[in-house]
Chains A and B, each alone.
Chain A
Amino acid sequence: AQRVTQPEKLLSVFKGAPVELKCNYSYSGSPELFWYVQYSRQRLQLLLRHISRESIKGFTADLNKGETSFHLKKPFAQEEDSAMYYCALHAYYGGATNKLIFGTGTLLAVQP
Chain B
Amino acid sequence: GAVVSQHPSWVICKSGTSVKIECRSLDFQATTMFWYRQFPKQSLMLMATSNEGSKATYEQGVEKDKFLINHASLTLSTLTVTSAHPEDSSFYICSARQGGERRETQYFGPGTRLLVL
Contact = CB atoms under 8 A, between A and B. Distances in A.
Contacts of B44: 44, 86, 102
Contacts of B93: 43-44
B106 interface: yes
B43 A104 contact: yes
Interface in A3-58: 32, 42-46, 49, 51
B75 interface: no
Interface residues of A, number: 22
B49 A99 contact: yes
A105 to B, nearest CB: 5
B31 A86 contact: no
**Secondary structure at chain A's binding surface: helix, strand, loop or mixed?**
mixed
Contacts of B108: 43-45
A97 B57 contact: yes
B42 to A, nearest CB: 7
Contacts, number: 47
A46 B49 CA distance: 19
B104 interface: yes
Query: What class of interface size applies to chain B in its complex with A?
Result: 20 to 34
Contacts of A104: 42-43
A72 to B, nearest CB: 16
A92 B97 CA distance: 14
A96 B32 contact: yes
Choose among B34, B49, B106, B109 the residue with the greatest number of A CB atoms under 10 Å from its CB. Answer: B106
Contacts of A43: 93, 108-111
A30 to B, nearest CB: 10
Contacts of A49: 105
Interface in B31-70: 31-32, 34, 42-44, 46, 49, 51, 54, 57
Given A32-B102, A44-B108, A45-B108, A96 B43 contact: no
Interface of A: 32, 42-46, 49, 51, 86, 90, 92, 95-105
12 contacts: A45-B108, A49-B105, A86-B43, A96-B32, A97-B49, A99-B34, A99-B46, A100-B34, A100-B46, A102-B44, A102-B46, A104-B42
